[in-house]
Structure 1
């Protein structure tokens, strides 16, 4: 008989809440299922068998329900340990750690569980640190063989099945090489969050899916692992073997773990394979569909090297080494790690960098003593003494950034965290006398330093970074005559500024400076390769590739206008690519808008004001203004397409003084369409087009950031700026 105390409290609203919890993932789902089964009169032993948990667990949660109702089922605050541990989550984090050998203690601290629990899970799955991965998948019954592949996914409102493949003769296990990252799994989670499926009318569609899979992958033994199901019936036939999830794994966690395991064990299971899976999930997510059907292409036979292994990718850019004579490099590795994460413990630094705990502790003590790091509030530990995380001390270092533009001089002072201390601007004209220009640049720089005097410590001021339109001779600091600033032909700007600033002065192209600032201030959001499109008086690009700013042989990489001209087949009679008006937005956008019938009255003497007036009109829905902006954005998009195809990157960042809120959506849409619909390798990647994390003063902030970049970014010999 059901317990009368329990049944009486199950109102329709309470029952609905419990069913909602039971349909989701996580610890609340298990607790709700226990209560619902108990309401049906099930005994503890029967509930335990059906849910695959212990009788003690069932009894404990029934007691919590009797004593506290719904509130009693919710998570109680404990000392850092969750009530349940998703084993699959532990496996995924282990595999995505550098080399697949993340320390149990580091993963335990990250998840808030004991390191003994993590170690036990790794033993159960046979994923041990510093050993080739030969896993055991503890489904019910266990999957046979150690060589597992993710072969397909079927889902409708009634059933979700992950198709896993195994081979009878597994190849020699290769060392762990992760070819996906957490972003792929995050994209998968987002697609699953928005997935809307209708109930299947019968089992025929699922049976047809299994038949197609068996025909396509005849050389691989297939296994169907049930992720979710409202019906315990299995389709008839022996095309595949059927398995249930491991007892201590959620279906989402298991899906992520199998993808990470496949990717780690098989280099040919690349990002593209799983991006195709994400795309298959996104199609029915956009409008309710009956089912998801995804089958990967045939798996190629192993084409291994003679030694049986796969060629490993390049080592991570920020991996540390432990020799004492490389202390300054390792200090930069630690600072870079802290900067990317924000607040991090010493153990987590060791886990992320590969440095030993002793090396990290020694370096952290030195950086704390010198004021570059500060300790944050202590964190409760699962065992031992509390952990004390560290973070960058923003006030430990400052830099001045100067941006030279044909229409405005901008000076900023920023701290080590990238926070703006002050900003000063001054309007100039493109034909200003060089001597007068230098005098004004010096004045606006000193004005900014004067405003920041109370915040900047003399021993923490790194110097001045200067961003200028290219081309520029970095070695001598000479501006060679930008196309829009002819009066500054061969101007020895660095030499002239050094006479007025008795400190280190660096000069950089404005688009490259903006990319450096994006990388520094963007932290972990920009911890990968990207191209920065800088919309100023002219459109330039800055490239961040292989962990460093790419300057090119002459430090003038990023000349974007000619790329746009070639993409649009706009070539002058002598064969030289045209200087496109579209690549000078403040001039071209008002001209195009006027040609289409929009007159920006009162802005004839300022192209900047005219551009902003068109932007406001476009935001208000004026068709001529919108058409003018789209014409420029399409031209820039064709150039961006060339960058994507040439460099094989998947992130474009848009910023600069003329990338304002009024026009941002237009540029994002047109450029995003160009770089995703037209590239040759569009099936292999999804290119993200994002707003810059920097303000309109992007080049000035970037110029200052080049000082931090030059001082604190870890580099090995051969990568320094020459």
Structure 2
């Protein structure tokens, strides 16, 4: 034994000699350390094998601390059912066996199974809740009561995805916040305008189409507002209020992708801040508006429901190897079956079988025969461009772009429409739906009716991909916390995927660029802001929260530009039309001075620069150098050898300057410049890069080979986006 093991053994022997419950646990561990079987230990100590297994497991997981976790080694006198349910939902795949959970919690498997049965129809409450498909809407707390506000929608969501979107770390953070709240001095509701009645009124305004149910976790709902349609329920006496809160959150996040980690980190943060500095008013926390489904046949305003647009034909690829073959064919353009076998390592027989299947299903098509020097002529295959198509929608602070493309990346239809950055969210959604319907109608004459795979939506970051929510777009403040994807799903009968615009552009570059982009690269997207999309290790890199590539922060740090509080500055240079107008004015350039910060001004300045205006040229070069500083950091950080430039402000007039200056900077200044040459190239996509990329994310999710499958694609189906 090591020194630590010797110390533990000495403690165990001390416990064994003292008697009591710790003595039994210590003897179990000591006998097990000698290699004795559970059945033999149980006979010798006259306890059940389950007791032996429980304390061996606790010792293996937590050492000495694990032996002191329960007041008694058998089954506890009372069971917090909500705690059991939270443990079940947070287990691997949210379907862990009752015996395994029982062993972890020190309960019998029969007890765990019984709790599961009682909660299967919905969380126990008095009166009973109408449905197990509950959403957590808000939390209220004052000195007398704790009320958890939940809701049900008129149309329940689809089946649950695999596992909970909220991890145990989030619930641990929530536990800490609740402990701090319990210790804080909360104000009384009596006679306060900001009490429970006001909370319920505010909740009804924010969630007008959700049936509200108030679960009284603690206290009584004496001051409820009779004017608000809400049903009150008492929680089961078999659950502690904090355990019940955990269980409801775990249940909500398991069934609804919208209820993501971010929502409950917001809740934990709100409770923690309130407990640290009570405001003198009761705690009110309400989540953002969820996409509220209205009764079938009606719109929210009572008008008849419009016909939905679009169809869906999910191409069911039978195996990982099929995706591998499609990827090789796509990258090559045209390729023979023998070459496919050579490049993939698959056998000739496997390639022939897969090729026959893909040809029969219309995904591949045979090309003209190639005559060989010996043997039979070889018939290459290629992707059939019209086998599938997808729609991409890009929502920019100034314009909405909708496109339909086929598998080859050919633009079948495209429409754009200006948008006002202060537009009301409802107006925005109607505009997107209308434009999407129009571009689908334009494509009907060219695209196959049975080949439509879905819609990709590209938006400015940051975004919450799990909940389909636009969070805090810097230039569109009225769209904060807009659940855009779930508002759109009522109008399009097909899968929907959301991406940041720069990430979508990178996906499009990879898909349409074929072999030219068959390696790692960073895509610098020059739009109303400058962002970066990353294609690393053969796949789109999104990061933990799907917000990788916030390029403006990197530029600000590289340039040493910070706010007084130390926060990286939001650089005007990372908003090309605004930045170039300011730089042009600084250099005394008159071009675009009548419309500073506009797209028209940007084009006027770049055209003047291309025409030889020295002041305009100096402004464009300054802008390119500012972006280049961020590109240096990106190249050094990721050790990549390709940077692609694109987007609506990567115009023909400005492109040569950007390519020259950024290309020189990423090769002259990085730390490892002697070990690599960085290619800086123009995008193969046009000004509709983000919209085309958004459509390409559908192809990327359907056809790109992944050993674990596509989690984003699976969740889009599980979340009920097939509407």
TM-score, normalised by the number of residues in structure 2: 0.54
Match of 2:11 in 1: none
Aligned residue in 2 for 1:211: none
The 8 Å contact of residues 630 and 667 in structure 1, kept in 2 or not, is answered as: yes
Q: Which stretch shows the higher mean deviation, 429-438 or 405-414?
A: 429-438
State whether residues 334 and 381 of structure 2, in contact with CA within 8 Å, keep that contact through their aligned partners in structure 1: yes
Three-state SS of the structure 2 residue aligned to 1:661 is coil
| Residue in structure 2 matched with residue 348 of structure 1 by the alignment | 339
Alpha-carbon displacement from aligned partner over 1:526-562 (angstroms, at most 9, x marks no partner): 0000000000000000000000000000111010001
Q: Which residue is equivalent to 2:661?
A: 670
Q: Match for residue 423 of structure 2? A: 432
SS across alignment from 2:457? strand
SS class of match (1:507): strand
* Partner-residue secondary structure (3-state), 2:415: strand
- Answer yes or no: is the 8 Å Cα contact 1:421–1:452 preserved in 2: yes
Among residues 399, 402, 418, which one is paired with 2:393 in the alignment? 402
Question: How far apart, in 2, do the equivalents of 1:385 and 1:499 lie?
Answer: 54
Per-residue displacement from partner, 1:133-189 (whole Å, max 9, x unpaired)?
A: xxxxxxxxxxxxxxxxxxxxxxxxxxxxxxxxxxxxxxxxxxxxxxxxxxxxxxxxx
Pair 572,585 (structure 1): closer, same or farther in 2 beyond 3 Å: same
Per-residue deviation, 1:597:
1.4
**Distance in 1 separating the partners of 2:440 and 2:475:** 29
Q: Distance in 2 between matches of 1:411 and 1:559?
A: 24
Q: Identify the residue that residue 28 of structure 1 maps to in structure 2.
A: none
SS state at 1:418 partner: coil
- Residue 341 (structure 1) shift: 0.4
Cα deviations by residue, 1:480-521 (Å, 9 ceiling, x for unpaired): 021111110000100111111111011000000000000000
CA distance in 1, matches of 2:592, 2:520: 43
**Shift of the alpha carbon at 1:592?**
1.3
**Cα separation, 2, equivalents of 1:400 and 1:343:** 25
Provide the secondary structure at the position in 1 that maps to 2:391: strand
Q: For 1:487-566, list aligned pairs within 5 A.
A: 487-566=478-557
Q: CA deviation at 1:600?
A: 3.1
The corresponding residue for 1:70 is none
SS at match of 1:556: coil
Q: Give the equivalent residue in structure 1 for 2:453.
A: 462
- Give, in whole Å, the separation in 2 of the partners of 1:675 and 1:702: 25
Matched, 1:638 2:629: yes
SS at match of 1:533: strand
Alignment match of 1:384 (pick from 375, 384, 388): 375
The answer for unaligned runs of 5 or more in structure 1 is: 1-324
Distance 1:358 1:718, change over 3 A: closer
Distance 1:444 1:476, change over 3 A: same
Given that 1:375 and 1:390 are in contact with CA atoms closer than 8 Å, whether structure 2 keeps it comes out as: yes
Asked if 2 retains the 8 angstrom alpha-carbon contact of 1:470 and 1:481, the reply is yes
- How do 1:136-535 residues align onto structure 2 when only pairs under 5 Å count? 327-535=318-526
Counterparts of 1:671 and 1:475 in 2: how far apart (Å)? 35
Q: How many residues align?
A: 398
Q: Aligned pair in 2 of structure 1 residues 668, 487: CA closer, same or farther (>3 Å)?
A: same
Question: What is the alpha-carbon distance in structure 1 between the residues aligned to residue 379 and residue 484 of structure 2?
Answer: 46
Q: Is the 8 A contact 2:412 2:447 kept in 1?
A: no
Counterpart CA distance in 2 for 1:339 and 1:710 is 14
**Aligned equivalents of 1:630, 1:499: Cα separation in 2:** 46
The CA distance in 1 between the partners of 2:565 and 2:592, in whole Å, is 38
Q: Give TM-score scaled by structure 1 length.
A: 0.54
Confirm whether residue 615 of structure 1 aligns to residue 584 of structure 2.
Answer: no
Cα deviation, residue 700, structure 1: 0.2
* CA distance 1:326–1:417, change in 2 (3 Å): closer
Report matched runs for 1:77-92 at 5 Å: none
* Structure-2 change in CA distance of 1:488 and 1:326 (3 Å): closer
Residue in 1 that maps onto 2:145: none
* Equivalent residue, structure 1, for 2:570: 579
Q: 1:326 offset after TM fit, Å? A: 9.8
- Cα separation, 2, equivalents of 1:603 and 1:422: 34
* Segments ≥4 residues shifted beyond 4 Å: none
Instruction: Answer whether contact 1:533 1:542 (CA < 8 A) is retained.
Output: yes
Question: Aligned partners of 2:630, 2:681: CA distance in 1, in Å?
Answer: 16
Cα pair 1:398 1:415 within 8 Å, conserved: yes
Alpha-carbon distance change, 368 to 718 in structure 1, aligned in 2, over 3 angstroms: closer
Structure 1 residue 647 and structure 2 residue 638: aligned?
yes
Question: Aligned-pair distance for 1:718?
Answer: 7.4
For residues 86-125 of structure 1, what are the alpha-carbon distances to aligned partners after superposition, in whole Å with 9 as ceiling and x for unaligned? Answer: xxxxxxxxxxxxxxxxxxxxxxxxxxxxxxxxxxxxxxxx
Query: Residue deviations 1:27-58, cap 9 Å, x none?
Result: xxxxxxxxxxxxxxxxxxxxxxxxxxxxxxxx
Shift of 1:707: 0.2
CA drift of 1:609 comes to 0.4
Larger RCO, structure (CA 8 Å, separation 6 or more): 2
Distance of aligned partners of 1:590 and 1:470 in 2 relative to their CA distance in 1, 3 Å threshold:
same
Q: 2:691 aligns with which of 685, 695, 700?
A: 700
1:382 Cα deviation from its structure 2 partner: 2.1
> 1:603, 1:609 within 8 Å by CA — same for their partners in 2?
no
CA distance in 2, matches of 1:435, 1:361: 52
| Aligned residues of 2:330 and 2:382 also touching (Cα < 8 A) | yes
- Write out per-residue CA displacement over residues 557-578 of structure 1, whole angstroms, 9 at most, x where no aligned residue: 0100010000011111111100
1:584/1:326 CA distance change after superposition, 3 Å: closer
Counterpart CA distance in 1 for 2:317 and 2:448 is 28
* CA-to-aligned-CA distance 1:273-327 (integer Å, 9 cap, x gap): xxxxxxxxxxxxxxxxxxxxxxxxxxxxxxxxxxxxxxxxxxxxxxxxxxxx995
Q: CA deviation at 1:331?
A: 0.6
Q: Is 483-492 or 516-525 further displaced after alignment?
A: 483-492
Query: For the residues of structure 2 that align with 1:359 and 1:408, how far apart are their CA atoms?
Result: 48
Secondary structure of 1:459 counterpart = coil
Q: Distance in 1 between matches of 2:594 and 2:480?
A: 29
| Residues 585, 606 of structure 1: alpha-carbon distance in 2 compared, 3 angstrom cutoff | closer
CA–CA distance in 2 between the matches of 1:422 and 1:459?
Answer: 17
Matched residues in 1 for 2:448 and 2:412: separation?
A: 13
CA RMSD of the aligned region, Å? 1.5
Q: Secondary structure at the match of 1:549?
A: strand
Mapping of residues 680-695 of structure 1, within 5 Å: 680-695=671-686
Aligned-pair CA distance for 1:679: 0.5
Structure 1 residues 588 and 545, CA gap change in structure 2 (3 angstroms): same
Q: CA distance change for structure 1 residues 373 and 660 in 2, over 3 Å: closer, same or farther?
A: same
Distance 1:403 1:505 in 2: 13
Query: Aligned equivalents of 1:438 and 1:585: distance in 2?
Result: 27
* Residue in structure 2 matching 1:625, options 597, 616, 626: 616
Aligned equivalents of 1:624 and 1:507: distance in 2?
41
Q: Distance in 2 between matches of 1:641 and 1:460?
A: 42
TM-fit CA distance, 1:428: 1.1
**1:661 Cα deviation from its structure 2 partner:** 0.5
